[in-house]
């Protein structure tokens, strides 16, 4: 580590994006992203209506070394210059996570560099510190294809979960609804674009769990309601017209945003009990790019006099820069735990809380 700055190589392969990045991080929260390479797999999975774990794992194994090479080249550094290697070691699709962990272990062993395993959700949760040097504590909504949680981020390894989805994540609901409507994947951008030409009040769709206290959410029933509306229209009209698709998409998106806004309002109330000096709400994950959801969350924060933060989209979705940054914070704060450096399909951030989606043979799901 030269001049108090840590040069970090990060690897990410938890789902369907193979990524590598190089960051220069200092103890003064001054972070320089030297490179961030992401190799997507959309074309590999598009004919299957979703991510196929076996195909994803094979693609990761083929692309990880290439992404690392590109990241080092773009950063104009050699592996010998790197001080630390960070890798996503869970949660995620186990084949992809295992590919990343084994690659990182091989690189670290060959180059004789220290290695830190990073919780993928911690990567998202610490992203605002990487991009905007947000001070602890802050309120975080991680909202993506596989996760949806409200977290109070109190420190590098201090996360308090206020609530989350008890079934489908919003991104998953967007993908499945897009398939129901014959829209291309990924579903989030397709629904967002289609909804702009629709009437959000055309169909009455449920707002699950709004009648229950707390910040937990549910989206599987909403997806089922969309299926029923679609089938009813098909029976009545003999098919779906474009205007029907627009209206369903718009009504679905409004229902999602209404749930998220109300649950966020409740989370803000809990967050304010900590009396933060610089109250900040931040959101990350692919669904954070949705125009209606983003606008409504911004308005909500303005109403509560709380700063709204959303990292640039390329750092909201899966990337290795966030993993490298999280690894640097963990390492600089002497929080490295060797037992965490195993491939984990499940790895809740707040392990003091009861699992949101139950407990299986592989551990707590969320």
Residues 173 and 289 both lie in one domain: yes
Domain that holds residue 185: 138-313
pLDDT beneath 50: ranges in the chain: 359-362
Residues 206 and 276 both lie in one domain: yes
Pairing of strands 148-155, 158-164: antiparallel
Residues 96 and 176 both lie in one domain: no
Residues 299 and 322 both lie in one domain: no
Pairing of strands 31-40, 17-26: antiparallel
Domain boundary among 278, 293, 313: 313
- Count of positions (residues) in the chain: 366
The pLDDT of residue 49? 67
Residues 47 and 143 both lie in one domain: no
Please give the tally of structural domains in the chain. 2
Residues 171 and 274 both lie in one domain: yes
The pLDDT of residue 231? 96
Domain at 49, CATH number: 3.30.420.40
The pLDDT of residue 245? 97
71 token code pair:
């990241």
The pLDDT of residue 55? 84
Residues 285 and 322 both lie in one domain: no
The pLDDT of residue 4? 73
363: left (phi over 0), alpha (psi -120 to 50) or beta: left
Inter-residue contact 200 to 300 (CB < 8 Å) = no
141-200 tens-digit pLDDT: 999 777 899 999 999 999 999 999 998 888 889 989 999 999 988 888 999 999 999 999
Predicted TM-score of the model (pTM): 0.91
Residues 167 and 250 both lie in one domain: yes
301 token code pair:
């924060």
Count of C-beta atoms within a 10 Å radius of residue 50: 16
| C-alpha span between 9 and 26 (Å, rounded) | 14
Residues 304 and 318 both lie in one domain: no
- Which of 320, 338, 305, 279 minimizes the C-alpha distance to 116? 338
DSSP per-residue letters across 291-341: HHHHHHHHHHHHHTT-EEE---HHHHSS-SHHHHHHHHHHHHTT---GGG-
**Residues 6 or more apart whose Cβ sits within 8 Å of residue 113:** 79, 82, 83, 84, 85, 107
Residues 203 and 274 both lie in one domain: yes
* 116 beta partners: 86
The pLDDT of residue 366? 55
């Amino acid at each position: 580590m030269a001049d108090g700055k840590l040069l970090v190589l990060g690897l990410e392969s938890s789902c369907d994006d193979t990524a590598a990045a190089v960051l220069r991080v200092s103890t003064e929260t001054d972070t320089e992203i030297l490179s961030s390479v992401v190799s997507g797999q959309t074309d590999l999975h598009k004919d299957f209506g979703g991510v196929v774990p076996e195909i994803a794992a094979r693609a990761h194994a083929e692309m990880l070394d290439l992404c690392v090479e590109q990241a080092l080249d773009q950063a104009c550094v050699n592996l010998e210059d790197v001080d630390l290697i960070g890798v996503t070691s869970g949660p995620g699709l186990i084949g992809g996570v295992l590919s990343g962990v084994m690659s990182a272990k091989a690189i670290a062993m060959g180059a004789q560099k220290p290695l830190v395993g990073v919780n993928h959700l911690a990567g998202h949760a610490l992203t605002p510190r990487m991009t905007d040097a947000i001070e602890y504590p802050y309120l975080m909504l991680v909202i993506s294809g596989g996760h949806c949680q409200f977290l109070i981020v109190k420190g590098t390894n201090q996360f308090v979960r206020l609530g989350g989805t008890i079934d489908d994540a919003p991104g998953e609901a967007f993908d499945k609804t897009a398939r129901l409507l014959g829209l291309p994947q990924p579903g989030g951008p397709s629904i967002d674009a289609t909804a702009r030409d629709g009437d959000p009040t055309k169909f009455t769709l449920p707002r699950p769990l709004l009648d229950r206290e707390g910040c937990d959410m549910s989206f599987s029933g909403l997806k089922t309601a969309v299926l029923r509306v679609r089938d009813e229209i098909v029976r009545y009209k003999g098919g779906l017209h474009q205007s029907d698709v627009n209206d369903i998409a718009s009504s679905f998106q409004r229902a999602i945003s209404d749930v998220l806004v109300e649950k966020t309002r409740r989370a803000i109330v809990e967050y304010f009990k900590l009396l933060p000096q610089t109250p900040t709400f931040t959101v990350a994950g692919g669904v954070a790019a949705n125009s209606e959801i983003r606008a409504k969350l911004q308005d909500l924060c303005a109403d509560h006099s709380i700063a709204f933060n959303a990292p640039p989209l390329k750092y909201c979705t899966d990337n290795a820069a966030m993993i490298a940054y999280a690894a640097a914070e963990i390492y600089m704060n002497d929080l490295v735990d060797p037992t965490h450096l195993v491939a984990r399909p499940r790895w809740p951030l707040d392990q003091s809380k009861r699992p949101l989606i139950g407990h299986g043979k592989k551990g707590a799901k969320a």
